[in-house]
Structures are given as C-alpha cells and as structure tokens.
Amino acid sequence: MPFRVCKSFEIENGHMLSKHPDKCRFPHGHTRKVECILSADTLDSNQMVCDFKVVKGLIGDFLETYDHALCMNTDDPQFAHFKQVYGDRVIGFPHLDPTTELLAQTIFEHLRASLAEYVAGPPSSYPVRASVRLEKIRVWETSSSWAEYSE
C-alpha cells in the first residue's frame, strides 16, 4: 500500500453549463475545494512523499487563474461577449461545458505536466523523486458534491 498525501486549495469559481436543461445553464459560482493527491511506495530521506510546498508551487499560480473566473463553453452564444467584457477572467472550454469533472481533468493534466517538469529539472532544495505519482484530483463543487479525475 503506497503512502498518500493531499494538498488542498480553495478557489471561488463560476461556470455556466450551456447544455444543462435547468438552472445550471445560467452563470453561477461555487466555493471549490481542490484536493491534489500524490503517492509513493516509499518515503524520501526526509520521511515524506514530497514536501507540500512543492505541490503549492506547482499548482498555485494555475489555480489562481481560475479564482474569481467564469468558465464557459466556447460554443455558448454569449461566450464572445463575456470574453470581450471580462477578458482573462473568462476561461473557454473548447466545445465543452465546463463541468466539475472537466475542471478536475484540466487541473490533473496541468499538475501532472508540472510535476514531471519539476522532477526532470535542476536540483532543488525540495527534491521530488521520479517515483512520486499524481494519483488524482478531486474538486468539490459544494460541501456535498465532488468530482475527481485520475489515470
């Protein structure tokens, strides 16, 4: 059984689901909790999977782009208008509704790539072994509902 660690973040994030048959097709927001779960079969020389500071450094700025932003399907008839008015605070999901499931996948893919780049990069005060795996990303939409993505 591997060791697992989780670093959590909170962001205020909005979305609208153009394909939804009810209220979710209108702009609305959530206080989202994002959980990043990493694992390793053994601990490093500091008795850690990896330092939590590394996880924050790898994903913090990326999550900041989603904080107080509105995620929209680029096919939504209002996408161009919202993008023009609010600029980078509107994040387009090409031809897809930005569900919590897709947000979890997007965050997973970003952190997986960032982790691989960090491991392959120059030596650091906070080394991470190549055996450390990103296990999953869980995104809470409400206090009682979440979606997660893993590979």
Report the sign of the C-alpha dihedral through residues 45, 46, 47, 51, in that order.
negative
Range of the domain at 93: 3-150
Tell me, what CATH number does 113's domain have?
Answer: 3.30.479.10
The count of structural domains within the chain is: 1
Taking the C-alpha atoms of residue 64 and residue 138, their distance in angstroms, rounded to an integer, is 17
Instruction: With 0.75 as the threshold, say if the pTM is over it.
Output: yes
8 bridge partner residues: 35
Tens-level pLDDT at each residue, the chain (151 residues): 699 999 999 999 999 999 999 999 999 999 999 999 999 999 999 999 999 999 999 999 999 999 999 999 999 999 999 999 999 999 999 999 999 999 999 999 999 999 999 999 999 999 999 999 999 999 999 999 999 999 9
